[in-house]
Amino acid sequence: MSEWKAKRFWKEAGVTAQDGGFAVHLDDRPVRTPAKAPLVVPARAMAEAIAAEWDAQEGVIDPNTMPFTRSANAAIDKVRVQHAEVAAMIAEYGDSDLLCYRAEGPAELVARQAAAWDPLLDWAATDLGARLVVAQGVMHVAQPDAAMARLRDAVHGLDAFRLTALHDLVSLSGSLILGFATARDRLEVSEAWDISRIDEAWQIEQWGADEEAAEHADRKRAAFLHAKRFFDQCAA
The ranges assigned to domains in the chain are 13-65, 82-233
3-state DSSP assignment of residue 106:
coil
Q: What's domain 13-65's superfamily in CATH? A: ATP12-like (3.30.2180.10)
- The answer regarding whether domain 82-233 maps to CATH 1.10.3580.10 reads yes
Q: What is the pTM of this model?
A: 0.94
Which residues is 15 bridged to in the sheet? 24
Q: Which residues of the chain have pLDDT under 70?
A: 1-5, 8, 236
Using an 8 Å Cβ cutoff, are 123 and 178 in contact?
Answer: no
Closest C-alpha to 28, from 50, 13, 43, 6: 13
Specify the pLDDT at position 2.
44
Specify the pLDDT at position 5.
61
Specify the pLDDT at position 71.
98
Calpha distance 188→6 (Å, rounded): 38
Do 82-233 and 13-65 have the same topology in CATH? Answer: no
Cis, bond preceding 67 (omega within 30 deg of 0) = no
Beta strands in the chain (DSSP E): 13-18, 21-26, 29-30, 40-41, 101-102, 135-136
Specify the pLDDT at position 20.
85
223 phi-psi bin (left φ>0, alpha ψ -120 to 50, beta other): alpha
Specify the pLDDT at position 209.
84
